[in-house]
Amino acid sequence: MLLRRIKAHIEKENWFAVFIDFLIVVVGILIAFQITEWSEQRQEANLERTYLNRLAADLDKTINYLDSENIKQKKIKEIIENALATINNREASDQEIIEAANLYISKGTTLGGFKVTRNTYDDLQSTGNLSLVTNEELVESLGKLHTNFTEHNLAALVNSDWVNPFESKITWEMDFLRFYSTTEHLYPKKSEADIAQHIREHTELLTRHASLHYWYVAAISDDYKSGAEEARVIRAMIKNELEKQ
């Protein structure tokens, strides 16, 4: 319709009308481009908000995990301290000695790990969508956070690799499996006095083993604490960013 009108105006040599028609076409094209650009920006903003919410959810899971693991490690430290205090107490009864060793061996020798929820961040990196996050400070902070998470995880692996070689020695000499409900029935029956005496004879070995685990617990507890603190800072940044949108 517009093209026929322009043609008619040219035939009549109505150049002002031709100019107006061309102006309408140009303005229409510019408006169409603007609408398209606005639509793309809106889609990117919506996608950014989706990713920010997902990042926040991942960090919430990570913070809960780190806090929970830190509480577990504190309990393990208490178990180790109380068990050694009882085992090294010459006034402790045979039953108390056995219960202390049993609690330490079954509950105080668990090695933790450092695993966080980072699915969304990895997705953003692998797809190149990290550029959708417009706050450059937040992007940089997310990168540092996950770098630190990786370092904490490597530290946990290295420390556990350092502890593990000592496990076989004490498992053999201390008859650790005697104290586990799943394997205790495989051992010949012994009197309470004999079992307690066996523990007392290996007090030094048990103390060295417990000290090693105590060191591991202390190290990973520090990582849990610092990791949770760092995650909370980034979580607050994401919350502020979502509130601005």
Side-chain-side CA neighbours of 48 within 13 Å: the count stands at 21
pLDDT at 44 over 70: no
Specify the higher pLDDT residue, 24 or 130. 130
Q: How far is CA 206 from CA 7, 166, 225, 244, in A?
A: 100, 11, 28, 57
Tokens read off for 234: 């980034």
Print the domain residue range for 79.
Answer: 2-244
pLDDT of residue 20: 62
pLDDT-derived band at 178 (thresholds 50, 70, 90) equals confident
Q: Name the residue with higher pLDDT: 123 or 40.
A: 123
Mean residue pLDDT across the chain: 85
Across the range 95-112, mean pLDDT stands at: 90
- Identify the pLDDT of residue 176: 80
Calculate mean pLDDT across residues 217-229: 96
Report which DSSP code applies to 30.
Answer: H
Residue 105 makes CB contacts below 8 A (sequence gap 6+) with 174, 176, 179, 180
Tokens representing 16? 């002002």
Residue 214 has what pLDDT?
95
pTM exceeding 0.85: no
Does 234 have pLDDT greater than 90? yes
Q: Is the pLDDT of residue 4 over 70?
A: no
- The region, left, alpha or beta by phi > 0 then psi within -120 to 50, assigned to residue 206 is alpha
Percent with pLDDT over 70 in the chain:
82
pLDDT of 208 strictly over 60: yes
Amino acid 149 reads F
Residue reference for tokens 């650009």: 37
φ, ψ of residue 115 to 5 degrees: the values are: -125, 130
Distances (CA, A) of 149 to 114, 152, 153, 226: 8, 5, 6, 10
Burial degree of 91 (CB within 10 A; 0-12, 13-18, 19+):
exposed
How many structural domains are present in the chain?
A: 1
Q: How confident is the model at residue 9 (pLDDT cuts 50, 70, 90)?
A: very low
Burial degree of 182 (CB within 10 A; 0-12, 13-18, 19+) = exposed
Q: Is the pLDDT of residue 37 over 70?
A: no
